[in-house]
Structure formats: structure tokens, C-alpha cells
């Protein structure tokens, strides 16, 4: 499927080696604005490492990452967040001692006005001053964001709203994943990377998550999704990329990829993780 307009995100020859192991090996990828591309592949295929390279948490040994046609290879995660790239983590990285509200507010951090002046020394001192004096504008902004957080949390029905003041460590595993997504949404992302958002969820929770991702897509959000549950991948994706041992072994619309002999071999050869096997057999 050829892109007609310039893609929002584009990777060229992205490579990352750990010692002798090439975790990500010459990956090319294009993601159009408003599109949803899924990355699947057995455990250890290099999917999470690819996310780390795109979000600046790790730096590639070779290749290029372009976002809105600008080269962002090796930029710091702070900078990328400010440009509208948000992600969730496979293992769930909420701030355990922060309340649900505070966790999601951190998502809005890059939008705070107090944070804006990037001038060295003066900027941080100004931020300290604003935090201590809290003029009306700062208070109003905080209030507005708190309301916004409640709207975001309402997307998860009654899952998070009643627990808004509870510390994140006290939440169930599934709820922590939801908090992560809420936090990502608070950034008002232009690109959202979801790393196995349904890992550890039961079928009804998975369906709920699938509906949410579909909703986000319908709202025009551009999404890169790592997911083992093929059912969900097939429903949501414009395009599916299959990785194995760092390499892209197949790419295309869901159905086509699903029946690709190389893909089946890769999955069987590595003793595919349980969930995906069931799903593909179903």
C-alpha cells in the first residue's frame, strides 16, 4: 500500500545491536497520519526495542527516524514527548506512589506553561518561582487540567474514576495499564505507541481495550501498536508488520500477513506465546 502523502512517522534501516545480538535489524516502516499499524512477532523479536528507538529511550546503531519529515534520530525522550510522541510500556510503568490523578497529570506535563521556558538556569528558577507563588494563571491551568483528566478517565467507564485519589500501586494490573493509556492521552499525542496494551487482560477487558483503541483511531489519532492478540490486530490495523529476530519478515494487510508461510514458520519455530497461538488457531 503506497503512501500518497508524506508519512507522520518513517523509519529507515533502523538497527540496534546488543553485543552479538541484533535486536532490531534494518527496519523500514511508514505510518500515515491517522493510520494504525500493528507490529507482531514472537517474544524477543525486537518490538519493544523498536519502540525504545522511536521514543528516544535507546539510540540506534544505524538508520533514521523521521517524525513529520524532520530527523529525530537519537533525540532525547524529553524532547520527543514535547513534540507529541507518547507511549505505554509493556511491563506497565505507572508512578506507584502517585495517585491516579497525579499519574495522568504527569502525562500533561509537557503542556504546562511553567515548564515552557527552556532557557538554562533562568527557566528552571522561574518554574520554581511559579510553583511556589502559584499566581492565578497557574492555578487556573491546574484546575483546567484536572477537569481534563476526569474527562480522559471517563473513557474507561467506572474503572478509574472512583479510584482517582488512590495510589497507583494499589490498582489491579489491568487498571495500571489503563492509567498508562490515560497518561499517554493527557499528553494530547500526535503519535501514540502502545506496547501490548492487553497483556494480562481477560477476554472482556481485552474487548473493552479494543473498543477504546478503535475509538481513538476513529478520532484520528495515529497509532503504532504492538499486540499479541491477533484477533484485535486484524480488526484494528491498516497494516501489519511481522518481526522475527529483529528483521521485518512480512508486511501488509492483516489477512495477507496471517497466511504468509514465513510468518507461520516464525511463530511455530519459536513456540509462539500462548495467547497468540490460541487466537490464530481460533
Ligand X SMILES: Nc1ncnc2c1ncn2[C@@H]1O[C@H](COP(=O)(O)OP(=O)(O)O)[C@@H](O)[C@H]1O
Out of 6, 13, 18, 61, the residue judged to bind ligand X by CB under 6 A = 18
Q: How many CB atoms lie within 10 A of CB 139?
A: 10
Grid cell locating 130: 511559579
Cα angle value 43/44/50 (rounded, 5°): 110
- Between residues 98 and 234, which has the closer beta carbon with respect to another protein? 98
Hey, which residues does 240 pair with through a beta bridge?
38, 252
- Between residues 9 and 232, which has the closer beta carbon with respect to another protein? 9
Dihedral sign for Cα atoms in the order 236, 199, 176, 223: negative
Residue 50 C-beta: closest distance to ligand X, Å: 7
- 191-195 and 222-226 strand pairing: parallel
- Residue 28 contacts by C-beta under 8 Å, 6 or more apart in sequence? 11, 12, 13, 14, 248
Interacting residues with Mg ion between 70 and 129 (CB under 5 A): 90
* C-alpha distances in Å from residue 233, one per residue of 12, 40, 91, 144, 282: 23, 8, 19, 35, 14
Q: CA-to-CA distance for 49 and 89, rounded, in angstroms?
A: 11
- Between residues 188 and 270, which has the closer beta carbon with respect to another protein? 188
Q: Is 143 in the site for another protein (CB under 8 A)?
A: no
Using CB distances below 5 to 8 A depending on partner kind, what does residue 187 bind out of Mg ion, ligand X, another protein, none? another protein
> Do 212 and 156 meet the contact criterion of CB atoms below 8 Å apart?
yes
Out of 3, 78, 143, 215, the residue judged to bind another protein by CB under 8 A = 78
- Between residues 106 and 264, which has the closer beta carbon with respect to another protein? 106
- Residue 86 contacts by C-beta under 8 Å, 6 or more apart in sequence? 107, 183, 184, 185, 187, 189, 191, 192, 193
Site residue total, ligand X (CB under 6 A): 11
Q: Is 48 in the site for Mg ion (CB under 5 A)?
A: yes
- Between residues 72 and 250, which has the closer beta carbon with respect to another protein? 72
Q: Is 185 in the site for ligand X (CB under 6 A)?
A: no
State the angle between helix axes of 100-107 and 136-154 in degrees (0 to 180), rounded to the nearest 10. Answer: 110
Out of 142, 245, 260, 279, the residue judged to bind another protein by CB under 8 A = 142
Out of 45, 94, 209, 241, the residue judged to bind ligand X by CB under 6 A = 45
Q: Is 151 in the site for another protein (CB under 8 A)?
A: no
Q: Is 23 in the site for ligand X (CB under 6 A)?
A: yes
Dihedral sign for Cα atoms in the order 57, 63, 69, 72: positive
Stretch that binds Mg ion, among 48-56, 58-66, 107-115, 119-127 (CB under 5 A): 48-56
Q: Is 53 in the site for another protein (CB under 8 A)?
A: no
Measured in residues, the chain has a length of 282
- Between residues 28 and 68, which has the closer beta carbon with respect to another protein? 68
- Give me the residues that bind another protein (CB under 8 A), please: 18-19, 55, 57, 59, 76-78, 81-82, 86-87, 89, 91, 93-98, 102-103, 105-107, 109-110, 112, 114-115, 123-125, 127-128, 131-132, 134, 142, 167, 169-170, 183, 187
Amino acid at each position: 500500500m503506497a503512501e500518497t502523502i508524506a508519512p507522520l512517522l518513517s523509519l529507515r534501516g533502523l538497527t540496534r545491536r546488543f553485543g552479538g545480538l541484533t535486536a532490531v535489524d534494518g527496519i523500514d516502516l511508514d505510518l500515515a497520519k491517522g493510520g494504525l499499524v500493528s507490529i507482531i512477532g514472537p517474544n524477543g523479536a525486537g518490538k519493544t526495542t523498536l519502540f525504545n528507538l522511536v521514543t528516544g529511550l535507546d539510540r540506534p546503531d544505524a538508520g533514521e527516524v523521521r517524525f513529520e519529515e524532520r530527523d529525530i534520530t537519537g533525540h532525547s525522550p524529553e524532547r520527543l514527548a514535547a513534540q507529541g510522541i507518547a507511549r505505554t510500556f509493556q511491563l506497565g510503568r505507572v508512578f506507584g506512589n502517585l495517585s491516579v490523578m497525579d499519574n495522568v497529570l504527569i502525562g500533561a506535563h509537557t503542556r504546562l506553561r511553567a515548564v515552557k521556558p527552556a532557557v538554562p538556569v533562568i527557566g528552571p528558577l522561574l518554574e520554581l518561582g511559579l510553583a511556589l507563588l502559584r499566581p492565578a494563571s497557574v492555578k487556573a491551568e491546574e484546575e483546567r487540567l484536572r477537569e481534563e483528566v476526569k474527562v480522559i478517565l471517563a473513557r474507561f467507564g467506572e474503572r478509574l474514576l472512583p479510584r482517582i485519589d488512590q495510589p497507583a500501586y494499589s490498582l489491579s494490573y489491568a487498571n495500571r495499564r489503563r492509567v498508562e493509556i490515560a497518561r499517554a492521552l493527557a499528553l494530547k499525542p500526535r503519535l501514540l505507541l502502545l506496547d501490548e496494551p492487553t497483556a494480562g487482560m481477560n477476554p472482556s477487558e481485552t474487548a473493552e481495550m479494543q473498543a477504546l483503541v478503535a475509538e481513538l483511531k476513529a478520532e484520528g489519532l495515529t497509532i503504532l501498536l504492538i499486540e499479541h492478540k491477533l484477533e484485535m490486530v486484524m480488526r484494528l490495523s491498516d497494516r501489519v508488520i511481522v518481526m522475527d529476530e529483529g528483521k521485518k519478515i512480512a508486511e501488509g494487510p492483516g489477512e495477507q500477513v496471517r497466511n504468509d508461510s514465513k510468518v507461520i514458520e516464525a511463530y511455530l519455530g519459536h513456540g509462539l506465546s500462548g495467547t497468540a497461538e490460541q487466537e490464530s488457531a481460533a
